[in-house]
Structure 1
């Protein structure tokens, strides 16, 4: 029977060519045993998907059709597309060639590239007189396959462990921001301070990776060890438009990957179990999931991207490399040359380059995968107020309101808007307060009604802006000197003395230079900061003075 002959099946209701009949027969051989099971597991569906060259979802569709049908081979015959929007758009014989060569030539340990595969498909189509499909058409069909099965066939079982979930199967991630992984690392490079350009050590990197597209949706570089604040800063960067930040860094690059994640996949570090992260995630509808303890390969997608970035970092002056053996006699501190902002600029450019590089698992660039995700689900929602979003992820305190305001770690905070609450404080209980450790000169207090936060500054406007780390050092110094009772005035006098010593020293230490850079980084944290003139409160509460500058509340912060 020739290639153009047809086969009449099921009483003449369906006509198929030999190629279509063979495809349907193979489908039946694979789908039949699955349909006979009570439950079709993900692992079995994925194996069948690779065998037939279709997606997991299509396997379940075929299983359903087989169960509803009469048990005939023709129950699984392909439904011909009209070629409209969202349709297959390729003739069935061409699609069969693509599926066959993906299975026989691409899914092998030889790990042929997409370019080589496309050339083989083109030769097969030309030989049979068919129009050659585009490379994008081939890439789309590869991207529909389960990445675990693709990786297992091309690289072996060990290579796909980072992609697997607690149940041993890849999580079903079908859209952008459906799952975002966050992790930290110390960067393999020494940086210098902006004033003296002398070494201040290695900074820390926190990144958020969108699993669907493998794009970096959030990144923050800090001089503090990983903490709940690092996570909050990274999430705030992920959820906001990145163009203003790129402009401040002086970077001309595209980084459109932004949006509020639907879920976070995290390890079991303390900063990922904090009340700040839990409450902030609940506030914004972000689901938290954690990798199983004792199984560090879960969640390896973010770790793999971090590893790729560190390999590129090793090209920079001042790199520490991955280990002493690799570093050899290279003097990392002596060769250090980049400041923190310069390193941030370099990282932003490296991210843009990574987004445009072909990804072996995706079969296309991360930027292309993100664009496809946006086309499928629409633009993700962004936070209109990055500062307000960040406040939702800052560390939480609970304090009772006093006649003189709030006291946190021996520091007093007051604003005139507190006066109406002070008058009825006995019946109000404790307030929920948020504080940024990088700048403790103000706190954010949740209103009694719970609808929004208000900013409350130092009670004494003469106190300098300090970080919580500098504050703790001053407290420790006072205790060393035998201070029996802590006093706010003594605390800030100690901070001023410590700063004078560091600023007048002929040769500052690396630690002091690092602390100075911390203060500068904290000062840049809130570019739109409003400096308020708030006098010390009177002995008894009075009505607010309308002539004074009001403290502006954040807008549209809902109650937990």
Structure 2
């Protein structure tokens, strides 16, 4: 037993380097499997030697050590010969005592000093009648400990983070869109409204980057705080061809990086763990992975991209910089000149410039790496209908179907296409409804018999499109006025009153101008007929096939 303890003290888990431990683990995999055979043939030994990069004689030596030892990875740690230099010359009992005291007294969260640990060594040696080693001997034994294991034992995993590689040993990502990192932040820039050209605050940006090529594959800038909607919009922007979007912006730039990702990698924020996002990813076969909590360096690629984007934004008029100290006396609101649409144009051009610059890690441009990936594995499949794809990621509600359709937040929805469902409504469970919070003038009802969605408009078609936050504000205002029973007519009347108040105040207050801008940025949907066609699941357009899937015609493209 003493021999084993002494051997661990010299080459065990605490003292072995990361490289030595990796070699031992690999040896244990190969030798442990080989040792199960009662007799090892020469051919098997040669195969193991090839796998481990050693000679046949060394394979038999490792087998001998494995069978004679405890059959654990530390039995096969590499042995170094130093000619006796630096090797402990203490009696085995003293070496074992040193190891035990280091484990029980030094490697604890109490963080005892070396002096206190040495006093315990002296006390125990005298109690057992052993020779007392010098303090330098104890310090040398402590110095052989693995720094990461030592700091983790004494101070915790957070304190040891600086000693670890920022990326660790992540899986190799080589294919385009094999993994995409997504994150968002508030933009360090004050923007102005379209009508008065006066400040309305800072927008939010959600951005996605392809890990293999470091290309920006998705970008959304809106006035709403991060939510499942902004993530869904970013995924829809990523999965569809960006040429129509660039044309609507009036930007002449190449941005061919599009396609549906195989995996998205995010932090653990609520918008990334929402039911809407999880169901949408399940529906479209997208795997979700999350960073370990409290370890932001696992998302280093997207974090660096956002940092680079904000450095570029700091060159624009109206920037707020990263903090008040850096901003100094600069008046961001007085200097603001860009609208939300103009910021989108600028960012689209900035991304095109970024794609054409040599990346320090890739040693080539991201655009060049993307084209290389296309040449090697083909162009990623894109989605033909952005709206059909986005519906899968919209917030979901469940409601009972009645003879008059659905009632959701005091608003009734109905169309003639619901009649077959209504006829058998007693056999149906609650229907899954999805809606865009920016425009609740219609909902998408999931067909109980399939995976298609049916767009269902207001029952009263004359009602104007409104947003979810307008609806909630109107309900809250009606409650304040003592209206216990809120009906649809009163709700829309209150929304109209609040809109008029906001329009009148827009010239005076920044908040009112922001509300007007939020409403104008909402996509206005085309009126659907009473018998709309079902919305099919978003289909991927395979470049290898002939004619692409025809987009859903009833929904206007955003």
Q: One fold, TM greater than 0.5?
A: yes
Mapped partners of 2:488, 2:53: distance in 1: 80
- The SS at the match of 2:230 is helix
Mapped partners of 1:502, 1:182: distance in 2: 34
- The SS at the match of 1:445 is strand
Mapped partners of 2:425, 2:291: distance in 1: 43
1:292 deviates by: 0.9
**CA 1:468/1:377 → structure 2, altered by over 3 Å: closer, same or farther?**
same
Mapped partners of 2:447, 2:162: distance in 1: 52
**CA 1:490/1:355 → structure 2, altered by over 3 Å: closer, same or farther?**
same
Mapped partners of 1:311, 1:160: distance in 2: 28
Mapped partners of 2:413, 2:302: distance in 1: 40
- The SS at the match of 2:298 is coil
Alpha-carbon displacement from aligned partner over 1:512-555 (angstroms, at most 9, x marks no partner): 1111111111135xxxx431355xxxxxxxxxxxxxxx212223
Matched, 1:554 2:535: yes
Q: Check conservation: 1:216, 1:257, Cα contact below 8 A.
A: yes
1:212 deviates by: 0.9
Task: Name which of 517, 525, 528 aligns with 1:532.
Answer: 528
1:557 deviates by: 5.3
Q: Who is 2:175 aligned against?
A: 175
Matched, 1:370 2:370: yes
- The SS at the match of 1:297 is helix
**CA 1:484/1:357 → structure 2, altered by over 3 Å: closer, same or farther?**
same
Q: Check conservation: 1:502, 1:508, Cα contact below 8 A.
A: no
- Give 5+ residue unaligned stretches, structure 2: 1-19, 31-46, 58-160, 540-558
Task: Name which of 27, 35, 38 aligns with 1:37.
Answer: 27
Residues 496-535 of structure 1 correspond to what in structure 2 (within 5 A)?
Answer: 496-505=496-505, 507-523=507-523, 529-532=525-528, 534=530
Mapped partners of 2:164, 2:26: distance in 1: 29
Task: Give TM-score scaled by structure 2 length.
Answer: 0.68
Mapped partners of 1:506, 1:399: distance in 2: 37
Mapped partners of 1:357, 1:509: distance in 2: 42
Matched, 1:265 2:261: no
1:346 deviates by: 0.2
**CA 1:318/1:285 → structure 2, altered by over 3 Å: closer, same or farther?**
same
Mapped partners of 2:500, 2:25: distance in 1: 78
Residues 348-387 of structure 1 correspond to what in structure 2 (within 5 A)?
Answer: 348-387=348-387
Which of the pair has more CA radius of gyration?
2
Q: Check conservation: 1:190, 1:319, Cα contact below 8 A.
A: yes
**CA 1:328/1:455 → structure 2, altered by over 3 Å: closer, same or farther?**
same
Mapped partners of 1:245, 1:471: distance in 2: 29
Q: Check conservation: 1:200, 1:511, Cα contact below 8 A.
A: yes
Q: Who is 2:198 aligned against?
A: 198
Q: Who is 1:21 aligned against?
A: none
Higher mean C-alpha displacement, 416-425 vs 309-318: 416-425
Residues 242-281 of structure 1 correspond to what in structure 2 (within 5 A)?
Answer: 242-281=242-281
**CA 1:392/1:556 → structure 2, altered by over 3 Å: closer, same or farther?**
closer
Task: Give TM-score scaled by structure 1 length.
Answer: 0.68
Mapped partners of 1:291, 1:70: distance in 2: 38
**CA 1:363/1:39 → structure 2, altered by over 3 Å: closer, same or farther?**
farther
Matched, 1:235 2:235: yes
Mapped partners of 2:388, 2:27: distance in 1: 52
Mapped partners of 1:68, 1:504: distance in 2: 78
RMSD: 2.6
Q: Who is 1:66 aligned against?
A: 50
- The SS at the match of 1:209 is strand
1:506 deviates by: 7.4
Mapped partners of 1:37, 1:178: distance in 2: 31
Mapped partners of 1:195, 1:477: distance in 2: 27
Residues 33-432 of structure 1 correspond to what in structure 2 (within 5 A)?
Answer: 37-39=27-29, 66-67=50-51, 71=55, 161-162=165-166, 164=167, 168-432=168-432
1:171 deviates by: 2.4
- The SS at the match of 2:297 is coil
**CA 1:36/1:274 → structure 2, altered by over 3 Å: closer, same or farther?**
closer
Alpha-carbon displacement from aligned partner over 1:405-451 (angstroms, at most 9, x marks no partner): 10111111111111121121111111111000010001001112123
Alpha-carbon displacement from aligned partner over 1:354-412 (angstroms, at most 9, x marks no partner): 11111111111111111121122111011111110000000011111011110111111
